Amino acid sequence: MEKSFTIRTNCIFCDNILNKSYFNSDYNIPIACYSKNEVSNDIIIPYNVYKCEVCKTSQTKYLGDLNEVYKMNHADNIVL
């Protein structure tokens, strides 16, 4: 299986190289859930936050593959 995320390397605002993580270790989060069953093919990626030392903004360290994030319709549970 291909890696379903990339690692942000530069600040999106000032282009500074990011290397200071907020959390001491990475957590895990799902970026895509394909089944409502107990056994599923959820895609889990690491989670951490960078803080830019130049412009002081916070940004996610790991970027989920948008093809996986939006692979399924997310509008099937909207309540009007």
pLDDT tens digits for range 39-77 = 566 788 999 999 999 999 999 999 988 887 777 665 665
Residue ranges covered by each domain of the chain: 5-69
Considering only CA atoms, which of 42, 26, 23, 25 is closest in space to residue 34?
Answer: 42
Report field, pTM of the whole predicted structure over 0.85:
no
If you search the block for the tokens 């089944």, which residue do you land on?
Answer: 35
- Which range is most confident: 15-24, 32-41, 69-78? 15-24
Residue 1 has pLDDT above 60, yes or no: no
Task: Output 6 or 34, whichever has higher pLDDT.
Answer: 6
Q: What pLDDT is recorded for position 37?
A: 62
- One DSSP character per residue, 1-23 reads ----EEE--B-TTT-PBP--BSS
Residue 78 has pLDDT above 60, yes or no: no
